[in-house]
Amino acid sequence: MLMLNFNPFPILETERIVLRRVNTNDVNEIFSLRSNPETMKYIPRPLVKTLEDAVEHIAMIDAKIENNEGINWAITLKDNPKLIGIIGHYRIKPENFRAEIGYMLLPEFNGKGIISEAVKEVVNYGFNVMKLHSIEAIIDPENFGSEKVLQKNGFIKEAHLKENEFYEGRFLDTVIYSILNKI
């Protein structure tokens, strides 16, 4: 069984970005991300409606970290501590040494390779520190941007599930990508 411990919180750095803990100072940016129909287009979750909702979202992120159930990082540029996106390991299955990676970015930062850089770092952390055996990403089949990011980072398409999720009155397909720890 996988033993997880996110305390002290790991700050990760790459060439251009710093992945740090999300905190209450990020409430406006979390609100921007989670209330924007564009960023939430492929995420079947209700839009955040108020700043209070965003504060609750941050509290939920914190609770998962404290309980070692999941870990999220704020994506920031090296020269600016402002949150521009989020990335993390969700739905960790310690008994299977597997986690799901998820991420989102404010639209003005799309297409710059930032998510790809963050994914690479978070996958490395998942394999080398968390000792995961596999990492999956569950995406909307229409989300070609995310698909490209995953393929670029060595993820392989595992499955296309037909109408397996019911959200807002309709059935949605999901595609599962995964990567195995080859070390």
Kindly report, residue by residue over 120-178, the tens digit of the pLDDT.
999 999 999 999 999 999 999 999 999 999 999 999 999 999 999 999 999 999 999 99
Kindly report, residue by residue over 44-90, the tens digit of the pLDDT.
999 999 999 999 999 999 999 999 999 999 999 999 999 999 999 99
139 vs 105: CA distance, rounded Å: 15
Q: What is the DSSP letter of 56?
A: H
Q: Give residue for tokens 């080398």.
A: 128
How large a percentage of the chain has pLDDT more than 90? 96
Give me the architecture of the 12-133 domain, per CATH.
3-Layer(aba) Sandwich (3.40)
Q: Where are the domains of the chain?
A: 12-133
For 52-78, b/e burial (b = at least 16 CB within 10 A) is ebbeebbeebeebbeebebbbbbbbee
**Predicted model pTM:** 0.95
C-alpha to C-alpha distances, 85 to 37, 57, 132, 152, 162, nearest whole angstrom: 15, 14, 23, 19, 29
Kindly report, residue by residue over 88-130, the tens digit of the pLDDT.
999 999 999 999 999 999 999 999 999 999 999 999 999 999 9
Query: In degrees to the nearest 10, what's the CA dihedral of 111, 172, 159, 90?
Result: 70
